[in-house]
Structure 1
Amino acid sequence: MDQRVLNWGIFLLLSLTWGSSFILMKLGLASFSPYQVASIRLISAGAALLPFFFRFIRQTPASKIPVIILSGLLGNGIPAYLFCIAETRIDSSLAGMLNSFTPVFALIFSLVLFHSPVLKRQVLGLMIGFVGVILLFLVKGVDANAYWYYGFLVILATACYGLNIALVHHYLKEFQSLQLVSISLFFMGLFALPVLLLSDFSATFQAAERPWMSLAASCTLGLVGTGVASLLFYQLIRSAGAIFASMVTYGLPVVAIGWGFVAGEAISGWQVLCLGVIMGGVYLVNRK
Protein backbone atom coordinates (compact mmCIF):
# COMPACT_ATOMS: atom_id res chain seq x y z
CA MET A 1 0.00 0.00 0.00
CA ASP A 2 1.21 3.50 -0.82
CA GLN A 3 2.65 5.14 2.34
CA ARG A 4 0.73 8.37 1.78
CA VAL A 5 -2.55 6.44 1.55
CA LEU A 6 -1.65 4.63 4.77
CA ASN A 7 -0.83 7.95 6.46
CA TRP A 8 -4.24 9.34 5.49
CA GLY A 9 -5.92 6.19 6.80
CA ILE A 10 -4.18 6.59 10.17
CA PHE A 11 -5.07 10.29 10.13
CA LEU A 12 -8.79 9.58 9.67
CA LEU A 13 -8.82 6.76 12.23
CA LEU A 14 -7.08 8.95 14.80
CA SER A 15 -9.49 11.80 14.17
CA LEU A 16 -12.40 9.46 14.79
CA THR A 17 -10.82 7.92 17.89
CA TRP A 18 -9.64 11.10 19.58
CA GLY A 19 -12.68 13.05 18.45
CA SER A 20 -14.85 10.53 20.31
CA SER A 21 -12.75 10.72 23.47
CA PHE A 22 -14.32 14.01 24.56
CA ILE A 23 -17.79 12.52 24.80
CA LEU A 24 -16.36 9.49 26.66
CA MET A 25 -14.83 11.88 29.19
CA LYS A 26 -18.23 13.47 29.73
CA LEU A 27 -19.77 10.05 30.36
CA GLY A 28 -17.04 9.21 32.83
CA LEU A 29 -17.48 12.50 34.66
CA ALA A 30 -21.16 11.71 35.23
CA SER A 31 -20.17 9.58 38.23
CA PHE A 32 -16.47 10.10 38.87
CA SER A 33 -14.27 13.09 39.65
CA PRO A 34 -11.92 14.37 36.90
CA TYR A 35 -8.94 12.91 38.75
CA GLN A 36 -10.62 9.50 38.90
CA VAL A 37 -11.58 9.48 35.20
CA ALA A 38 -8.06 10.48 34.13
CA SER A 39 -6.48 7.91 36.46
CA ILE A 40 -8.75 5.09 35.24
CA ARG A 41 -7.91 6.08 31.68
CA LEU A 42 -4.15 5.86 32.24
CA ILE A 43 -4.25 2.72 34.39
CA SER A 44 -6.44 0.76 31.96
CA ALA A 45 -4.23 1.77 29.01
CA GLY A 46 -1.05 0.79 30.84
CA ALA A 47 -2.53 -2.51 32.03
CA ALA A 48 -3.68 -3.49 28.53
CA LEU A 49 -0.15 -3.07 27.17
CA LEU A 50 1.62 -4.66 30.15
CA PRO A 51 2.78 -7.82 28.26
CA PHE A 52 4.51 -5.61 25.69
CA PHE A 53 6.16 -3.55 28.43
CA PHE A 54 7.97 -6.61 29.81
CA ARG A 55 9.08 -7.50 26.30
CA PHE A 56 10.40 -4.08 25.29
CA ILE A 57 11.82 -2.71 28.54
CA ARG A 58 14.81 -5.08 28.29
CA GLN A 59 15.51 -3.94 24.74
CA THR A 60 15.46 -0.22 25.50
CA PRO A 61 18.68 1.65 26.40
CA ALA A 62 18.58 2.92 29.99
CA SER A 63 19.53 6.41 28.82
CA LYS A 64 16.32 6.61 26.76
CA ILE A 65 13.92 5.58 29.54
CA PRO A 66 13.70 9.10 31.11
CA VAL A 67 12.98 10.59 27.67
CA ILE A 68 10.21 8.03 27.06
CA ILE A 69 8.70 8.77 30.50
CA LEU A 70 8.81 12.50 29.71
CA SER A 71 7.07 11.75 26.42
CA GLY A 72 4.39 9.84 28.33
CA LEU A 73 3.85 12.75 30.72
CA LEU A 74 3.56 15.29 27.90
CA GLY A 75 1.57 13.12 25.51
CA ASN A 76 -0.79 11.36 27.92
CA GLY A 77 -0.27 11.91 31.65
CA ILE A 78 -0.62 15.66 32.17
CA PRO A 79 -3.19 16.27 29.35
CA ALA A 80 -5.44 13.47 30.68
CA TYR A 81 -5.98 15.36 33.95
CA LEU A 82 -6.14 18.81 32.33
CA PHE A 83 -8.85 17.77 29.87
CA CYS A 84 -10.98 16.07 32.52
CA ILE A 85 -10.78 19.09 34.84
CA ALA A 86 -11.65 21.41 31.95
CA GLU A 87 -14.67 19.35 30.90
CA THR A 88 -16.28 19.82 34.30
CA ARG A 89 -17.04 23.37 33.15
CA ILE A 90 -16.86 23.52 29.36
CA ASP A 91 -18.64 21.62 26.58
CA SER A 92 -16.92 18.58 25.09
CA SER A 93 -17.17 19.98 21.55
CA LEU A 94 -15.50 23.22 22.71
CA ALA A 95 -12.68 21.14 24.21
CA GLY A 96 -12.31 19.39 20.86
CA MET A 97 -12.06 22.71 19.03
CA LEU A 98 -9.52 24.18 21.46
CA ASN A 99 -7.45 21.03 21.01
CA SER A 100 -6.74 22.30 17.50
CA PHE A 101 -4.04 24.57 18.91
CA THR A 102 -1.74 21.51 18.96
CA PRO A 103 -0.22 21.98 15.46
CA VAL A 104 0.64 25.60 16.27
CA PHE A 105 2.57 24.55 19.38
CA ALA A 106 4.20 21.66 17.50
CA LEU A 107 5.46 24.11 14.87
CA ILE A 108 6.66 26.63 17.49
CA PHE A 109 8.58 24.02 19.51
CA SER A 110 10.05 22.44 16.37
CA LEU A 111 11.34 25.82 15.17
CA VAL A 112 12.48 27.30 18.50
CA LEU A 113 13.91 24.25 20.27
CA PHE A 114 15.02 22.03 17.40
CA HIS A 115 15.44 24.48 14.47
CA SER A 116 13.57 22.08 12.19
CA PRO A 117 13.26 22.86 8.48
CA VAL A 118 9.65 23.63 7.59
CA LEU A 119 8.34 24.17 4.07
CA LYS A 120 6.41 27.37 3.34
CA ARG A 121 3.42 25.43 2.03
CA GLN A 122 3.33 23.47 5.31
CA VAL A 123 3.13 26.70 7.28
CA LEU A 124 0.48 27.98 4.86
CA GLY A 125 -1.50 24.75 5.20
CA LEU A 126 -1.27 24.86 8.98
CA MET A 127 -2.52 28.45 9.05
CA ILE A 128 -5.39 27.70 6.64
CA GLY A 129 -6.46 24.76 8.78
CA PHE A 130 -6.27 26.87 11.93
CA VAL A 131 -8.39 29.61 10.33
CA GLY A 132 -10.92 26.93 9.42
CA VAL A 133 -11.08 25.80 13.06
CA ILE A 134 -11.57 29.37 14.28
CA LEU A 135 -14.35 29.93 11.73
CA LEU A 136 -15.99 26.68 12.78
CA PHE A 137 -15.70 27.81 16.39
CA LEU A 138 -17.47 31.09 15.53
CA VAL A 139 -20.12 29.47 13.32
CA LYS A 140 -21.00 26.83 15.89
CA GLY A 141 -21.28 29.36 18.67
CA VAL A 142 -20.46 28.97 22.36
CA ASP A 143 -22.59 29.26 25.44
CA ALA A 144 -22.19 32.77 26.82
CA ASN A 145 -22.13 31.35 30.35
CA ALA A 146 -19.19 29.04 29.61
CA TYR A 147 -16.26 29.11 32.02
CA TRP A 148 -13.67 30.50 29.64
CA TYR A 149 -10.74 30.18 32.03
CA TYR A 150 -11.17 26.40 31.99
CA GLY A 151 -10.47 26.56 28.28
CA PHE A 152 -6.91 27.62 29.10
CA LEU A 153 -6.38 24.22 30.72
CA VAL A 154 -7.10 22.69 27.30
CA ILE A 155 -4.65 25.09 25.64
CA LEU A 156 -2.02 24.11 28.23
CA ALA A 157 -2.68 20.47 27.35
CA THR A 158 -2.18 21.24 23.65
CA ALA A 159 1.16 22.87 24.49
CA CYS A 160 2.15 19.57 26.13
CA TYR A 161 1.04 17.70 23.00
CA GLY A 162 3.01 20.03 20.74
CA LEU A 163 6.19 19.67 22.78
CA ASN A 164 5.78 15.89 22.85
CA ILE A 165 5.39 15.71 19.07
CA ALA A 166 8.64 17.65 18.60
CA LEU A 167 10.36 15.51 21.26
CA VAL A 168 9.35 12.20 19.67
CA HIS A 169 10.25 13.39 16.18
CA HIS A 170 13.79 14.38 17.19
CA TYR A 171 14.75 11.93 19.95
CA LEU A 172 12.59 8.81 19.75
CA LYS A 173 11.84 8.32 16.08
CA GLU A 174 14.04 5.19 15.83
CA PHE A 175 11.90 3.23 18.30
CA GLN A 176 8.88 1.10 17.42
CA SER A 177 5.51 2.65 18.21
CA LEU A 178 4.48 -0.27 20.42
CA GLN A 179 7.76 -0.02 22.30
CA LEU A 180 7.28 3.68 23.11
CA VAL A 181 3.62 3.37 24.02
CA SER A 182 3.90 0.28 26.23
CA ILE A 183 6.80 1.73 28.24
CA SER A 184 5.41 5.25 28.59
CA LEU A 185 1.88 4.12 29.50
CA PHE A 186 3.20 1.62 32.08
CA PHE A 187 4.79 4.49 33.99
CA MET A 188 1.75 6.72 33.49
CA GLY A 189 -0.46 4.00 34.97
CA LEU A 190 2.02 3.58 37.82
CA PHE A 191 1.90 7.31 38.56
CA ALA A 192 -1.90 7.40 38.30
CA LEU A 193 -2.54 4.45 40.66
CA PRO A 194 -1.91 6.33 43.96
CA VAL A 195 -4.00 9.26 42.67
CA LEU A 196 -6.94 6.90 42.14
CA LEU A 197 -6.49 5.12 45.48
CA LEU A 198 -6.26 8.39 47.41
CA SER A 199 -9.43 9.74 45.75
CA ASP A 200 -11.78 7.47 47.75
CA PHE A 201 -12.65 5.66 44.54
CA SER A 202 -14.33 2.69 46.26
CA ALA A 203 -16.88 4.96 47.97
CA THR A 204 -18.44 5.72 44.59
CA PHE A 205 -19.47 2.08 44.21
CA GLN A 206 -21.26 2.02 47.57
CA ALA A 207 -24.04 4.20 46.19
CA ALA A 208 -27.43 2.67 45.39
CA GLU A 209 -26.87 3.01 41.62
CA ARG A 210 -23.41 1.80 40.71
CA PRO A 211 -21.67 3.88 38.04
CA TRP A 212 -20.86 1.05 35.65
CA MET A 213 -21.53 3.17 32.56
CA SER A 214 -19.03 5.79 33.70
CA LEU A 215 -16.50 3.08 34.52
CA ALA A 216 -16.97 1.46 31.10
CA ALA A 217 -16.61 4.85 29.36
CA SER A 218 -13.42 5.63 31.31
CA CYS A 219 -11.90 2.21 30.53
CA THR A 220 -12.82 2.52 26.85
CA LEU A 221 -11.23 5.95 26.90
CA GLY A 222 -8.02 4.35 28.17
CA LEU A 223 -7.96 1.30 25.92
CA VAL A 224 -8.96 3.02 22.67
CA GLY A 225 -8.52 6.76 23.18
CA THR A 226 -5.10 6.37 24.82
CA GLY A 227 -3.65 2.91 24.10
CA VAL A 228 -4.64 2.28 20.48
CA ALA A 229 -4.61 5.97 19.53
CA SER A 230 -1.10 6.49 20.94
CA LEU A 231 0.18 3.56 18.90
CA LEU A 232 -1.27 5.05 15.73
CA PHE A 233 -0.04 8.54 16.57
CA TYR A 234 3.58 7.53 17.21
CA GLN A 235 3.51 5.58 13.95
CA LEU A 236 2.18 8.64 12.11
CA ILE A 237 4.98 10.81 13.52
CA ARG A 238 7.54 8.27 12.28
CA SER A 239 6.09 7.86 8.79
CA ALA A 240 4.62 11.30 7.98
CA GLY A 241 6.54 13.72 10.19
CA ALA A 242 5.67 15.94 13.13
CA ILE A 243 3.71 18.64 11.30
CA PHE A 244 1.30 16.33 9.48
CA ALA A 245 0.83 14.19 12.60
CA SER A 246 0.01 17.25 14.70
CA MET A 247 -2.74 18.24 12.27
CA VAL A 248 -4.79 15.23 13.37
CA THR A 249 -6.28 17.64 15.90
CA TYR A 250 -7.77 19.63 13.00
CA GLY A 251 -9.93 16.62 12.26
CA LEU A 252 -11.38 16.47 15.78
CA PRO A 253 -14.00 19.23 15.27
CA VAL A 254 -15.25 17.23 12.29
CA VAL A 255 -15.91 14.27 14.57
CA ALA A 256 -17.37 16.52 17.26
CA ILE A 257 -19.92 17.84 14.78
CA GLY A 258 -20.58 14.26 13.66
CA TRP A 259 -21.46 13.29 17.23
CA GLY A 260 -23.69 16.35 17.37
CA PHE A 261 -25.46 15.17 14.21
CA VAL A 262 -26.02 11.73 15.78
CA ALA A 263 -27.41 13.47 18.86
CA GLY A 264 -29.88 15.39 16.67
CA GLU A 265 -28.07 18.72 16.40
CA ALA A 266 -28.56 20.73 13.20
CA ILE A 267 -25.61 20.90 10.77
CA SER A 268 -25.41 24.09 8.73
CA GLY A 269 -23.85 24.70 5.34
CA TRP A 270 -21.39 27.09 6.95
CA GLN A 271 -20.11 24.30 9.16
CA VAL A 272 -19.57 22.07 6.14
CA LEU A 273 -17.70 24.92 4.40
CA CYS A 274 -15.43 25.35 7.43
CA LEU A 275 -14.66 21.64 7.42
CA GLY A 276 -13.66 21.94 3.76
CA VAL A 277 -11.24 24.75 4.66
CA ILE A 278 -9.72 22.59 7.41
CA MET A 279 -9.21 19.61 5.12
CA GLY A 280 -7.70 21.90 2.46
CA GLY A 281 -5.06 23.00 4.95
CA VAL A 282 -4.31 19.39 5.89
CA TYR A 283 -3.91 18.50 2.21
CA LEU A 284 -1.36 21.30 1.70
CA VAL A 285 0.78 20.02 4.58
CA ASN A 286 0.91 16.44 3.26
CA ARG A 287 1.08 17.20 -0.47
CA LYS A 288 4.13 15.90 -2.32
Structure 2
Amino acid sequence: MSQRTLNWGIFLLLSLTWGSSFILMKLGMERLSPWQVASLRMLCAGISLSPFFFRFIHKIPVKKLPLIFLSGLLGNFFPAFLFCIAEMQVDSGLAGILNGFTPLMTLVTGALLFNNAIIKRQLLGISAGLIGVVLLFASQGISTSYWYYGLWILVATVCYGTNINLVRRHLKDYSSVQVSAISLGFCGILALPVLLYTNFFALLSGPAIPWTSISAAATLGILGSGIATVLFYFLISKTGAMFASMVTYVLPIVALGWGFLAGEHITLLQILSLGIILGGVYLVNRK
Protein backbone atom coordinates (compact mmCIF):
# COMPACT_ATOMS: atom_id res chain seq x y z
CA MET A 1 0.00 0.00 0.00
CA SER A 2 1.41 3.38 -0.99
CA GLN A 3 1.72 6.21 1.52
CA ARG A 4 -0.80 8.26 -0.46
CA THR A 5 -3.38 5.46 -0.33
CA LEU A 6 -2.77 5.04 3.40
CA ASN A 7 -3.19 8.78 3.98
CA TRP A 8 -6.53 8.85 2.16
CA GLY A 9 -7.66 5.70 3.97
CA ILE A 10 -6.99 7.34 7.34
CA PHE A 11 -8.67 10.52 6.08
CA LEU A 12 -11.88 8.62 5.28
CA LEU A 13 -11.79 6.57 8.50
CA LEU A 14 -11.43 9.73 10.60
CA SER A 15 -14.27 11.36 8.68
CA LEU A 16 -16.58 8.43 9.44
CA THR A 17 -15.51 8.23 13.09
CA TRP A 18 -15.73 11.92 13.91
CA GLY A 19 -18.77 12.42 11.71
CA SER A 20 -20.61 9.92 13.89
CA SER A 21 -19.46 11.52 17.14
CA PHE A 22 -22.17 14.21 17.07
CA ILE A 23 -24.92 11.59 17.16
CA LEU A 24 -23.13 9.80 20.00
CA MET A 25 -22.95 13.03 22.00
CA LYS A 26 -26.70 13.50 21.63
CA LEU A 27 -27.26 9.90 22.68
CA GLY A 28 -25.01 10.32 25.68
CA MET A 29 -26.85 13.44 26.83
CA GLU A 30 -30.21 11.65 26.86
CA ARG A 31 -29.44 10.47 30.40
CA LEU A 32 -26.21 12.24 31.30
CA SER A 33 -25.31 15.92 31.63
CA PRO A 34 -22.99 17.57 29.08
CA TRP A 35 -20.28 17.74 31.74
CA GLN A 36 -20.58 14.03 32.45
CA VAL A 37 -20.52 13.02 28.79
CA ALA A 38 -17.43 15.11 28.03
CA SER A 39 -15.62 14.01 31.20
CA LEU A 40 -16.42 10.34 30.68
CA ARG A 41 -15.22 10.65 27.11
CA MET A 42 -11.88 12.06 28.25
CA LEU A 43 -11.49 9.50 31.04
CA CYS A 44 -12.15 6.56 28.69
CA ALA A 45 -9.78 8.03 26.11
CA GLY A 46 -7.03 8.29 28.70
CA ILE A 47 -7.64 4.78 30.00
CA SER A 48 -7.67 3.29 26.49
CA LEU A 49 -4.15 4.60 25.84
CA SER A 50 -2.83 4.26 29.40
CA PRO A 51 -0.38 1.40 28.58
CA PHE A 52 1.34 3.72 26.11
CA PHE A 53 1.18 6.61 28.57
CA PHE A 54 3.27 4.75 31.15
CA ARG A 55 5.59 3.45 28.45
CA PHE A 56 6.42 6.81 26.88
CA ILE A 57 6.02 9.38 29.67
CA HIS A 58 9.62 8.89 30.83
CA LYS A 59 11.02 9.06 27.29
CA ILE A 60 9.74 12.55 26.50
CA PRO A 61 11.97 15.52 27.44
CA VAL A 62 10.55 17.44 30.37
CA LYS A 63 10.53 20.67 28.37
CA LYS A 64 8.16 19.09 25.84
CA LEU A 65 5.59 17.90 28.38
CA PRO A 66 3.90 21.33 28.76
CA LEU A 67 3.42 21.46 24.97
CA ILE A 68 1.90 17.97 24.94
CA PHE A 69 -0.33 18.91 27.85
CA LEU A 70 -1.44 22.04 25.96
CA SER A 71 -2.07 19.90 22.89
CA GLY A 72 -4.37 17.70 24.94
CA LEU A 73 -6.32 20.70 26.21
CA LEU A 74 -6.73 22.32 22.79
CA GLY A 75 -7.21 19.19 20.72
CA ASN A 76 -9.47 17.18 23.03
CA PHE A 77 -10.36 18.47 26.48
CA PHE A 78 -11.82 21.92 25.79
CA PRO A 79 -13.60 20.93 22.53
CA ALA A 80 -15.22 17.92 24.21
CA PHE A 81 -16.96 20.22 26.70
CA LEU A 82 -17.68 22.97 24.18
CA PHE A 83 -19.42 20.60 21.78
CA CYS A 84 -21.52 18.97 24.50
CA ILE A 85 -22.63 22.36 25.82
CA ALA A 86 -23.48 23.49 22.28
CA GLU A 87 -25.51 20.36 21.55
CA MET A 88 -27.85 21.21 24.39
CA GLN A 89 -29.54 23.41 21.76
CA VAL A 90 -27.79 22.67 18.45
CA ASP A 91 -28.71 19.48 16.62
CA SER A 92 -25.97 16.99 15.75
CA GLY A 93 -26.13 17.70 12.01
CA LEU A 94 -25.54 21.42 12.48
CA ALA A 95 -22.73 20.70 14.94
CA GLY A 96 -21.00 18.64 12.26
CA ILE A 97 -21.50 21.41 9.73
CA LEU A 98 -20.11 24.15 12.00
CA ASN A 99 -17.12 21.95 12.76
CA GLY A 100 -16.21 22.48 9.11
CA PHE A 101 -14.74 25.84 10.08
CA THR A 102 -11.66 24.05 11.47
CA PRO A 103 -9.56 24.27 8.26
CA LEU A 104 -10.18 28.01 8.10
CA MET A 105 -9.15 28.36 11.74
CA THR A 106 -6.08 26.24 11.02
CA LEU A 107 -5.09 28.64 8.27
CA VAL A 108 -5.79 31.74 10.39
CA THR A 109 -4.09 30.54 13.58
CA GLY A 110 -1.16 29.26 11.54
CA ALA A 111 -0.66 32.69 10.02
CA LEU A 112 -1.26 34.68 13.23
CA LEU A 113 0.45 32.49 15.82
CA PHE A 114 2.98 30.43 13.87
CA ASN A 115 3.92 32.78 10.99
CA ASN A 116 2.86 30.25 8.36
CA ALA A 117 2.79 31.42 4.78
CA ILE A 118 -0.58 31.33 3.03
CA ILE A 119 -0.55 30.01 -0.53
CA LYS A 120 -3.17 31.53 -2.80
CA ARG A 121 -4.36 28.12 -3.95
CA GLN A 122 -4.81 27.02 -0.34
CA LEU A 123 -6.78 30.16 0.42
CA LEU A 124 -9.00 29.47 -2.59
CA GLY A 125 -9.60 25.90 -1.46
CA ILE A 126 -10.38 27.00 2.10
CA SER A 127 -12.75 29.66 0.78
CA ALA A 128 -14.54 27.14 -1.43
CA GLY A 129 -14.94 24.76 1.48
CA LEU A 130 -16.18 27.57 3.71
CA ILE A 131 -18.78 28.58 1.12
CA GLY A 132 -19.95 24.98 1.04
CA VAL A 133 -20.25 24.93 4.83
CA VAL A 134 -22.23 28.18 4.84
CA LEU A 135 -24.60 26.83 2.17
CA LEU A 136 -25.09 23.70 4.21
CA PHE A 137 -25.84 25.84 7.25
CA ALA A 138 -28.40 27.83 5.27
CA SER A 139 -29.99 24.67 3.89
CA GLN A 140 -30.71 23.45 7.42
CA GLY A 141 -33.08 26.35 8.04
CA ILE A 142 -31.83 26.87 11.59
CA SER A 143 -33.25 29.83 13.50
CA THR A 144 -31.00 32.61 14.80
CA SER A 145 -31.59 31.47 18.39
CA TYR A 146 -29.11 28.70 17.70
CA TRP A 147 -26.25 31.13 17.04
CA TYR A 148 -25.31 31.57 20.70
CA TYR A 149 -24.69 27.88 21.18
CA GLY A 150 -23.18 27.63 17.71
CA LEU A 151 -20.50 30.11 18.81
CA TRP A 152 -19.22 27.55 21.31
CA ILE A 153 -18.51 25.24 18.39
CA LEU A 154 -16.62 28.01 16.61
CA VAL A 155 -14.49 28.45 19.73
CA ALA A 156 -13.81 24.72 19.59
CA THR A 157 -12.64 25.02 15.98
CA VAL A 158 -10.17 27.73 17.04
CA CYS A 159 -8.82 25.24 19.59
CA TYR A 160 -8.58 22.56 16.92
CA GLY A 161 -6.84 24.86 14.45
CA THR A 162 -4.30 26.04 17.01
CA ASN A 163 -3.56 22.48 18.12
CA ILE A 164 -3.02 21.25 14.56
CA ASN A 165 -0.38 23.90 14.01
CA LEU A 166 1.13 23.25 17.44
CA VAL A 167 1.57 19.54 16.73
CA ARG A 168 2.97 20.18 13.27
CA ARG A 169 5.44 22.82 14.44
CA HIS A 170 6.64 21.56 17.84
CA LEU A 171 5.75 17.87 18.21
CA LYS A 172 6.40 16.41 14.76
CA ASP A 173 9.52 14.57 16.00
CA TYR A 174 7.42 12.34 18.24
CA SER A 175 5.18 9.50 17.14
CA SER A 176 1.42 9.93 17.04
CA VAL A 177 1.06 7.25 19.72
CA GLN A 178 3.41 9.09 22.06
CA VAL A 179 1.71 12.47 21.71
CA SER A 180 -1.82 11.02 21.87
CA ALA A 181 -1.22 8.74 24.84
CA ILE A 182 0.46 11.39 26.98
CA SER A 183 -1.89 14.25 26.06
CA LEU A 184 -5.03 12.13 26.60
CA GLY A 185 -3.57 10.72 29.81
CA PHE A 186 -3.41 14.27 31.16
CA CYS A 187 -6.97 14.88 29.94
CA GLY A 188 -8.22 11.75 31.71
CA ILE A 189 -6.66 12.91 34.96
CA LEU A 190 -8.34 16.31 34.63
CA ALA A 191 -11.71 14.71 33.82
CA LEU A 192 -11.87 12.53 36.91
CA PRO A 193 -12.58 15.40 39.39
CA VAL A 194 -15.38 16.64 37.11
CA LEU A 195 -17.04 13.22 37.20
CA LEU A 196 -16.72 13.14 40.99
CA TYR A 197 -18.15 16.65 41.34
CA THR A 198 -21.16 15.84 39.12
CA ASN A 199 -21.93 12.64 41.11
CA PHE A 200 -21.49 10.44 38.05
CA PHE A 201 -20.36 7.40 40.01
CA ALA A 202 -23.51 7.53 42.14
CA LEU A 203 -25.46 6.70 38.97
CA LEU A 204 -23.68 3.35 38.76
CA SER A 205 -25.26 2.21 42.02
CA GLY A 206 -28.78 3.40 41.21
CA PRO A 207 -31.75 1.29 40.20
CA ALA A 208 -31.71 2.42 36.57
CA ILE A 209 -28.15 2.69 35.31
CA PRO A 210 -28.07 4.67 32.01
CA TRP A 211 -26.02 2.10 30.13
CA THR A 212 -26.92 3.41 26.68
CA SER A 213 -25.69 6.92 27.43
CA ILE A 214 -22.62 5.61 29.24
CA SER A 215 -21.79 3.34 26.29
CA ALA A 216 -22.14 6.26 23.86
CA ALA A 217 -19.76 8.43 25.92
CA ALA A 218 -17.30 5.56 26.33
CA THR A 219 -17.34 4.91 22.58
CA LEU A 220 -16.64 8.58 22.01
CA GLY A 221 -13.62 8.32 24.27
CA ILE A 222 -12.13 5.08 23.01
CA LEU A 223 -12.78 5.51 19.29
CA GLY A 224 -13.51 9.21 18.77
CA SER A 225 -10.71 10.50 21.01
CA GLY A 226 -8.26 7.67 21.72
CA ILE A 227 -7.76 5.77 18.47
CA ALA A 228 -8.83 8.67 16.23
CA THR A 229 -6.36 11.08 17.82
CA VAL A 230 -3.49 8.66 17.18
CA LEU A 231 -4.52 8.41 13.53
CA PHE A 232 -5.01 12.17 13.24
CA TYR A 233 -1.57 13.04 14.60
CA PHE A 234 -0.09 10.44 12.24
CA LEU A 235 -1.90 12.13 9.36
CA ILE A 236 -0.56 15.55 10.41
CA SER A 237 3.00 14.21 10.47
CA LYS A 238 2.69 12.65 7.02
CA THR A 239 0.61 15.18 5.09
CA GLY A 240 0.79 18.50 6.93
CA ALA A 241 -1.61 20.57 8.98
CA MET A 242 -3.83 21.79 6.16
CA PHE A 243 -4.67 18.43 4.58
CA ALA A 244 -5.26 16.84 7.99
CA SER A 245 -7.60 19.66 9.01
CA MET A 246 -9.66 19.12 5.84
CA VAL A 247 -11.07 16.01 7.53
CA THR A 248 -13.56 18.33 9.18
CA TYR A 249 -14.91 19.41 5.77
CA VAL A 250 -16.09 15.85 5.09
CA LEU A 251 -17.84 15.51 8.45
CA PRO A 252 -21.04 17.20 7.18
CA ILE A 253 -21.34 14.41 4.61
CA VAL A 254 -21.38 11.84 7.39
CA ALA A 255 -23.75 13.97 9.46
CA LEU A 256 -26.17 14.25 6.54
CA GLY A 257 -25.78 10.50 5.98
CA TRP A 258 -26.97 9.84 9.51
CA GLY A 259 -29.84 12.22 8.86
CA PHE A 260 -30.78 10.33 5.71
CA LEU A 261 -30.80 7.01 7.57
CA ALA A 262 -33.01 8.63 10.19
CA GLY A 263 -35.49 9.64 7.48
CA GLU A 264 -34.49 13.30 7.15
CA HIS A 265 -35.03 15.01 3.80
CA ILE A 266 -31.87 15.68 1.75
CA THR A 267 -32.14 18.69 -0.57
CA LEU A 268 -30.40 19.51 -3.84
CA LEU A 269 -28.72 22.49 -2.14
CA GLN A 270 -27.15 20.16 0.41
CA ILE A 271 -25.80 17.91 -2.34
CA LEU A 272 -24.41 20.96 -4.19
CA SER A 273 -22.78 22.16 -0.99
CA LEU A 274 -21.05 18.84 -0.49
CA GLY A 275 -19.62 19.06 -4.01
CA ILE A 276 -18.19 22.50 -3.25
CA ILE A 277 -16.67 21.19 -0.02
CA LEU A 278 -14.97 18.29 -1.77
CA GLY A 279 -13.69 20.72 -4.40
CA GLY A 280 -12.06 22.70 -1.61
CA VAL A 281 -10.40 19.51 -0.32
CA TYR A 282 -8.91 18.95 -3.77
CA LEU A 283 -7.62 22.51 -4.15
CA VAL A 284 -5.85 22.48 -0.79
CA ASN A 285 -4.27 19.07 -1.36
CA ARG A 286 -3.40 19.36 -5.07
CA LYS A 287 0.32 19.30 -5.79
TM-score bracket, shorter-length normalisation: over 0.9
What secondary structure does 2:114 align onto? coil
Partner of 1:215: 214
Matched, 1:137 2:137: yes
How far is 1:114 from its partner?
Answer: 1.5
Matched, 1:116 2:119: no
How far is 1:119 from its partner?
Answer: 2.2
Give runs of aligned pairs for residues 154-233 of structure 1, distance below 5 A: 154-205=153-204, 207-233=206-232
How far is 1:268 from its partner?
Answer: 2.1
How far is 1:146 from its partner?
Answer: 4.3
| 1:22–1:102 Cα change, 3 Å | same
Letter of the 1:195 counterpart = V
Deviates more, 1:130-139 or 1:115-124: 115-124
Give runs of aligned pairs for residues 237-248 of structure 1, distance below 5 A: 237-248=236-247
Give runs of aligned pairs for residues 245-284 of structure 1, distance below 5 A: 245-284=244-283
Deviates more, 1:216-225 or 1:198-207: 198-207
How far is 1:138 from its partner?
Answer: 1.1
Deviations 1:122-164 (A, max 9, x none): 111111011111111112322x374321111111111111110
How far is 1:180 from its partner?
Answer: 0.3
What CA distance in whole angstroms lies between the structure 1 residues aligned with 2:21 and 2:73?
A: 18
What CA distance in whole angstroms lies between the structure 2 residues aligned with 1:147 and 1:137?
A: 11
Letter of the 2:244 counterpart = A
What CA distance in whole angstroms lies between the structure 2 residues aligned with 1:238 and 1:232?
A: 10
Q: Does the 8 Å contact 1:75/1:160 carry over to 2?
A: yes
Partner of 2:90: 90
Q: Does the 8 Å contact 1:90/1:146 carry over to 2?
A: no
What CA distance in whole angstroms lies between the structure 1 residues aligned with 2:218 and 2:242?
A: 30
What secondary structure does 2:57 align onto? helix
Q: Which runs of 5+ in 1 are unaligned?
A: none
How far is 1:208 from its partner?
Answer: 4.1
Q: Does the 8 Å contact 1:20/1:255 carry over to 2?
A: yes
Deviations 1:79-122 (A, max 9, x none): 11111111111111111111111111111111112211332211
**Count of residues paired in the alignment:** 287
Partner of 1:36: 36
Matched, 1:63 2:63: yes
Q: Does the 8 Å contact 2:94/2:140 carry over to 1?
A: no
Partner of 1:11: 11
Letter of the 1:56 counterpart = F
Give the alignment's TM-score, normalised by structure 2: 0.97
How far is 1:43 from its partner?
Answer: 0.4
What CA distance in whole angstroms lies between the structure 1 residues aligned with 2:161 and 2:24?
A: 23
| 1:43–1:11 Cα change, 3 Å | same
How far is 1:3 from its partner?
Answer: 2.3
What CA distance in whole angstroms lies between the structure 1 residues aligned with 2:70 and 2:151?
A: 22
Letter of the 2:44 counterpart = S
Give runs of aligned pairs for residues 43-58 of structure 1, distance below 5 A: 43-58=43-58
Partner of 1:100: 100
Deviations 1:221-241 (A, max 9, x none): 000110111011101111111
Superposition RMSD in Å = 1.3
Deviations 1:8-31 (A, max 9, x none): 211111111111000000011011
Deviates more, 1:80-89 or 1:265-274: 265-274
What CA distance in whole angstroms lies between the structure 1 residues aligned with 2:126 and 2:268?
A: 23
Letter of the 1:210 counterpart = I
Letter of the 1:149 counterpart = Y
Letter of the 1:65 counterpart = L
What CA distance in whole angstroms lies between the structure 2 residues aligned with 1:69 and 1:145?
A: 36
Letter of the 1:89 counterpart = Q
